[in-house]
């Protein structure tokens, strides 16, 4: 799952990003509305965490432009205001959820996971293939009842492949959806991660390499 955090408080933005990465999500950060809007319109994010009071372009305007552009990302709006009218205004702009500051981090993760299930294409709460089970809400996976100790990128690749339901997923799509914008598209990161994931999954093999196309379950 790939998430964009648009928050002008740099310390808070990096704290949120670090916590979400620990929860096995790929995270990009923008510190003002203009930079955030640019990223959100270029990359595919399941969820955009949007602070309302932003410099350059106000969070309300960012939300309106994303909706007008037909962006498929779900928007979780953050604000220091907790009045009912602020909630009504935020949702009226097209935000999918609204969370006042301060908030419990576990609640933020739960809200993000719930929103991702409503993204297009939607992500089911539990993904399964034969004896492999991946729980998107709890961010854990197992095979034949055995917990899988997956690194964040391994988890993200497995999540995307299982969600594709047999469709071939290209290396480019994996980079776009599982890695953040700092990823170098010319490295062997995808191949290395696929190799490690295969090792952790064990036998019988379930990930097929499709020549000149990508990978599939």
- Give pLDDT tens digits for 117-161: 776 566 678 999 999 999 987 889 999 999 999 999 999 999 999
> CB under 8 Å to 9, separation ≥6 — which residues?
51
- Considering the chain, what is the average pLDDT of its residues? 89
Confidence (pLDDT) at 122: 61
Q: What is the mean pLDDT of the segment spanning 1-25?
A: 94
Joined tokens for residue 109? 């993760």
pLDDT surpassing 80 at residue 110: yes
Joined tokens for residue 152? 């964040």
Confidence (pLDDT) at 29: 97
Going from N- to C-terminal start, the domains of the chain cover 2-116, 126-216
- Give pLDDT tens digits for 25-76: 999 999 999 999 999 998 889 999 999 889 999 999 999 999 888 888 899 9
CATH architecture for the domain at 2-116: 3-Layer(aba) Sandwich (3.40)
Q: State in words which class domain 126-216 has.
A: mainly alpha
Confidence (pLDDT) at 72: 84
pLDDT surpassing 70 at residue 98: yes
Q: Which of 65-69, 104-108, 182-186 has the lowest mean pLDDT?
A: 182-186
Q: What is the mean pLDDT of the segment spanning 78-82?
A: 73
SS (H, E, C) the chain: CEEEEECCCHHHHHHHHHHHHHCCCEEEEECCHHHHHHHHHHCCCCEEEEECCCCCCCHHHHHHHHHHCCCCCEEEEEECCCCHHHHHHHHHCCCCEEEECCCCHHHHHHHHHHHHCCCCCCCCCEEEECCEEEECCCCEEEECCEECCCCHHHHHHHHHHHHCCCCCECHHHHHHHHCCCCCCCCCCHHHHHHHHHHHHHCCCCCCEEECCCEEEC
pLDDT surpassing 80 at residue 92: no
């Amino acid at each position: 799952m790939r998430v964009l955090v648009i928050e002008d408080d740099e310390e808070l933005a990096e704290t949120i990003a670090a916590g979400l990465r620990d929860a096995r999500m790929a995270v990009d950060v923008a510190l003002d509305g203009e930079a955030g809007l640019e990223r959100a319109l270029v990359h595919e994010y399941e969820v955009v965490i949007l602070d309302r009071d932003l410099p350059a372009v106000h969070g309300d305007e960012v939300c309106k432009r994303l909706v007008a552009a037909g962006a498929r990302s779900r928007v979780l709006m953050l604000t220091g205001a907790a009045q009912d009218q602020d909630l009504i205004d935020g949702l009226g702009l097209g935000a999918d959820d609204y969370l006042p500051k301060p908030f419990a981090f576990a609640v933020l993760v739960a809200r993000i996971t719930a929103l991702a299930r409503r993204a297009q294409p939607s992500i089911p709460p539990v993904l399964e293939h034969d004896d492999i089970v991946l729980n998107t809400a709890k961010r854990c996976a197992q095979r034949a009842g055995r917990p899988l100790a997956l690194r964040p990128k391994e988890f993200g690749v497995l999540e995307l492949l299982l969600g594709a339901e047999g469709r071939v997923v290209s290396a480019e799509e994996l980079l776009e959806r599982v890695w953040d914008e700092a990823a170098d598209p010319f490295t062997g990161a995808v191949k290395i991660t696929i190799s490690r994931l295969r090792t952790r999954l064990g036998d019988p093999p379930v990930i097929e390499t499709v020549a000149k196309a990508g990978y599939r379950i």
